[in-house]
Structure 1
Amino acid sequence: MTDFLRTVLRTDRCLLRPWRAEDTPLIPPVASTRDISWNTSFRFPHPFDETAAKRLVRWSRDGAGEDKWQFAVFLDGELAGSCGTVRGEGVEAHTATTGYWLDPSLWGRGLATEVVTELVRYMRDQTAIEQLTATCFGWNPASRRVLEKTGFRLEGVRRGVVRKWGRTTDLWIYGQWL
């Protein structure tokens, strides 16, 4: 865990590092948008307040570098979003689930692809995880493109299993061997 907490990853435009307690006040202004929440599970609340931010940071540091690899993403010194993985349990302990979110004002610039590419590289080169899984909602084709550009392959579509805020859509499931 200690070594992971000192990890710093760099892409052409972004810096990725584990979440720190002092990041807590930076999170709500970026994360508290319906656009992000719309494309994430109910564990990502809307509004995203300071209590949720404290919970995120505390959760990300519990098992950091062993069962979780969660990164704050910075662009030009400002918080831009997050990406990370969580180890599977039991017979799936050699796998991890991948997720990411970015400030909607940064969407469409290729940053998510850049960040997820670096996350995949890190997981391949620095962990014993053998396979990554990622999901996205049917109404989010941009996220599907990010996953496909970063080496994930479509493994299946579960029809009509996502219901959020009165709307139903499909869940697209992607995987990548490392």
Structure 2
Amino acid sequence: METSEPVFIKTSLAVLRPWSVADADSIVKYADNPNVAGNLRDGFPSPYFRDDALKFISAANVLENGFMLAIETGGEACGGIGISILSDVYRKTAEIGYWLGEPFWGRGIVTEAVKAVVPVAFERFDIARIQAGVFGCNPASARVLEKCGFVLEAVLKDAIFKKGRLMDEIMYARFRE
């Protein structure tokens, strides 16, 4: 069931494709933004430099347990989406994550990307569910997941410490049909 073939997906608003070294400058252009980094885990650098982009691209293209794709619109990478298969007793669960440059927010790009990636993940991997944890301060991301058939599973009180404060994590999941 699992395959290492590259993933290419075309939606009406974007192309989801493997990352390229040529994407480094556009990653920095859109990722070096505290409004983007503020809704992501601390592993997403802020500020975001070219070296960060090159390290990310290198890691994204050798990921063994999932895939990470560029979200390309207008000929440039303006965000990313990925699936990571969890391990140990969670090995039948994948996590989905995504980010998008602020100039592209509110256009439905990520909603289309999530809708396109979920069936590919279920087809490629022996998983029962895909989950996503959303920061309590990010209702837009929660709406994306709800539009894509994810269901609210739990609110984890004060589970996240970001920007000097505790906040809830809202856990969503979608199950293999």
Same fold by TM-score, threshold 0.5 exceeded? yes
Q: How many residues align?
A: 175
Partner residue, 1:55: 55
TM-score by length of 1: 0.92
Whether 1:140 aligns to 2:151 is: no
Partner residue, 2:77: 79
> Which runs of 5 or more residues in structure 1 are unaligned?
none
* Deviation readout 1:104-128 (Å, 9 max, x if unpaired): 1111111111111111121123332
CA distance in 1, matches of 2:27, 2:78: 9
Letter in structure 2 aligned against 1:17:
R
Deviation at 1:77, TM superposition (A): 1.1
Partner residue, 2:10: 10
The farther-off stretch of 145-154 and 158-167 is 158-167
> In 2, are the aligned partners of 1:60 and 1:68 still within 8 Å (CA)?
no
> Which runs of 5 or more residues in structure 2 are unaligned?
none
CA distance in 1, matches of 2:151, 2:122: 16
CA distance in 1, matches of 2:136, 2:96: 17
Secondary structure, aligned partner of 1:44: coil
* Deviation readout 1:113-153 (Å, 9 max, x if unpaired): 11111111211233323210101100111100001111111
Whether 1:33 aligns to 2:37 is: no
TM-score by length of 2: 0.92
Secondary structure, aligned partner of 1:4: coil
CA distance in 1, matches of 2:112, 2:105: 12
> In 1, are the aligned partners of 2:38 and 2:162 still within 8 Å (CA)?
yes
More relative contact order, 1 or 2 (CA 8 Å, 6+ apart):
2
Deviation at 1:8, TM superposition (A): 1.2
Partner residue, 2:175: 177
CA distance in 2, matches of 1:177, 1:155: 12
Letter in structure 2 aligned against 1:33:
N
